[in-house]
Amino acid sequence: MKRFLPFTCLFLLFFTQIVNAQSSNGDLQQALYDYTARMPIEKVYIHHDRTDYYAGETVWMKIYQTSSANASAASQIVYADLIDPQQNTVLQTRWKLKDGRAEACLELPEDLPAGHYQLRAYTRWMQNFAPEGFFHQELTVYGPQPSGEDANDKEDTAIRFFPEGGWMIEGLTNRVAFEITGRYAEDIKEIFITNEKKDTVAIASPSLHGKGLFSFLPQPGMRYEAHLPNIRQTYPLPQCKERGFALSTEHRDGKFRIRMAHNLTEKEASAHQWFIVLHREGELIVEVPIDTRNKIGLISFPIDELPAGTFTVSLIDESYQAWWERLAFVRFPEQLNLSIRTKYEKKNGQKSVKLILHSTDRNGHPQPGAFSLAAVDATLEQTSKRSNLTSYLFLGSELQGNLRYLPDYWNPARPDAMERINLLLLTQGWRRYELELLTETPQPPSFPMELGLSLSGKVDVLGNKKLKDITIEAILRQDSLREYAELKPDEKKRFVLDGIEFTGTKDVILTARDKKEKAYPIVLDVPHSSPAGHYRPTPFDAKQSFATAWKVNRYIEPRIGKTPILLGEVEITARKPDPMEKRRTYGAGFVKNAVNIEANTASGRVIDYLRRVPGISMIYGGDPAYPMIPHVNGTPGKTPASIVLDGSLQRMPEFVFDMDISQIERIEVLQPTATMFGGFNTGGVICLYRRPVGGEKETTRQAVCQWIGYNQTKTFYLPAATDNDFFNLPQARNTYYWNPTVTTGADGRAEISFFLNERENKKITVHCEGISTNGITGVYSQTIR
């Protein structure tokens, strides 16, 4: 349970009678704790090597994950998508998180059209909340001429209004933030607020990126609208509420101050208990009861006793209903002091760049930690247009909309930094917790917290609810590797196949059978799919020379590892497809002998026909009904062969032995060294495939699917001093160095170096991000020659 901070509170009117009151509502604290323990908040952030790319290049990434303080578990899978300007998912990748980190990359298609794309990252658990909680960063891609017209080109100018706290209240002074959107939003310098009588009640000017703030006092029953110069269209303001609270926040003299006013009747005010609550990610920072017998008041908190970063301020009643709510930011967090010293050296006669990273805290003490570092062509890196690890975790992750201009707000050195962030939170801030949820009956989450790869589904027992002893057999195939697993469904006939970690894709054949070898249908759960795109990119300027730049990069400056090799004339003959390949759970190389059985040419039992198949001998089985059973020649001992029907291992092979051979299309005898099917093959493996009936592709009730695993990250190509091709046939790169695992030692230092060739003599931008072992974030960026 969290301890309340020792706040000093100043009160006027509302609060003269509770100057020494301490936060006392333990019910709210416990409710918040219980809710966030059940529904913890996860955040992910991506540090990527550049902001601008050419089609066909690789986006190098380091993924960072954090969870709310009282989370008992965290997702182990993270998704990274690329969304095009039309909100389509171009790429979707899946990565394994280890200790909240993952090394990843995206391979941009070579025919990817030019435009602004969204790099998006999330866990499946994060889909239980609003999509604004996903990480998103805009990337510029230079490629072929984009087809069609950007939807933003036709986006009309519009104004959105954001009353501070959520509502405008009649008869009270309200602060209202606004944001002008549209292609020409930045050109608008003034807006006019008028009432129904066409009287101007307020004039406001956007202060930054179309955002602004004004105050006015709405009259009872009056409606208001906004006007833009030289635009006939009008924009209505939100309708006012007749009763309620109007609050405003400010930073002054080292205090975070909340001014409050209300117009409730005495009866309405006395009908509830009222509280000001500060909370973040389920942690109750402070709760103060207030007295509403007076109409106006002030409460203030020492800023140095409030947490760094973003938190929520709520005015609630005893049922946790929010009457006023907003995000607040009062101070910047402590950051690591990162510095990088550059040295140019000669190694074996080649030009080398050495970077010496030094990490300290604000007192100059060395800080060991783990970092990701990139050195890139400065012309393809717009550091001023990207968020960083610190600004995202403490501010950007709480926002909705495009974060392209986040660095314009996150600047601790500016004297007006708090005013800028306040404006950003009023227009792009959003509520992560609706406290009313705390009183509702807990509902199971829609999306699971993925702790590993899993494949799940249900056995359809066709209304037989009492059926027991069902076994599910799973055969997994990936390239030449085969795995076999057995699992039992639960009482609801559901099953989960997990505990298997792999990259790429596995073909899976699932069969559900009872003790009598009767098969039952399997219905697989819908696999994870990419959520719909949500964020609108900034307009792409089609007049810039993206096409020329892309062609130069692609054809004149081939990338490392993609140098074309000229071959002599080669005659290529296509391999005839194997009709059995899709039905096999193993590669053709494992087949020792095979017999195809033509339709209507054979009859009798399968057990009798097996005597005639090459590679099979009959041995004494000990069962009077089946005195002789098959054994694969070359396998050790005199043990019976394992019988597999349509990819499913038969625990009761007598069922297969009694089938008529006319039902079988093909018999395959596997190599004596084959080791699939769970090891039940000491006497070898014999695979039989039933003949399709009536043109059906499947003659059993198997579930066949592809199980998607993790993506495989590449290793960044780093030339060595002996790489003669790199120096003698120089090729220009756009990312000179990428390392997602730079570690500083106890002295806070780390050294890395890389080579440049004679064509790589442009300005280099170096940026580094990471976290110290005691949890302090740090970022660094510098352009060098």
Contact of 379 with 758, CB cutoff 8 Å: no
Q: What is the pLDDT of residue 282?
A: 80
For residue 545, count CB atoms less than 10 angstroms from its CB and return exposed for 0-12, middle for 13-18, buried for 19 or more.
exposed
Q: What pTM does this model have?
A: 0.80
Structure tokens at 323: 């009457």
Q: Where are the alpha helices (DSSP H) in 555-636?
A: 606-609
Q: What is the pLDDT of residue 574?
A: 39
State how far the Cα of 128 lies from the Cα of 42, in Å rounded to an integer.
Answer: 11
DSSP E strands, 423-566: 454-459, 471-478, 481-487, 494-498, 505-513, 519-520, 522-524
Provide the 8-state DSSP code for 747. Answer: T
Provide the 8-state DSSP code for 727. Answer: H
Torsion (CA) 665, 666, 667, 673 in degrees, nearest 10: -150
Contact of 769 with 749, CB cutoff 8 Å: no
Residue 449, Cα to own-chain centre: how many angstroms? 12
**pLDDT (tens digit, 9 = 90+) per residue, 45-76?**
999 999 999 999 999 999 999 998 888 899 99
Contacts 24+ apart (CB under 8 A), 195-203: 195/219, 195/222, 195/223, 195/224, 196/222, 196/223, 196/224
Residue 436, Cα to own-chain centre: how many angstroms? 27
First-last CA distance in the chain: 53
Q: Where are the alpha helices (DSSP H) in 430-569?
A: 546-551
Contact of 376 with 736, CB cutoff 8 Å: yes
Residues of the chain falling short of pLDDT 50: 1-24, 151, 555-576, 695-699
Q: What is the pLDDT of residue 554?
A: 52
Residue-by-residue DSSP string for 431-450: -S--GGGGGSPP---SS---
Residue-by-residue DSSP string for 157-198: PEEEEEETTS--BTTS-EEEEEEEESTTGGG---EEEEETT-
For the chain, domains (ranges, CATH) are: 42-147 (2.60.40.1930), 154-236 (2.60.40.1930), 588-693 (2.170.130.10)
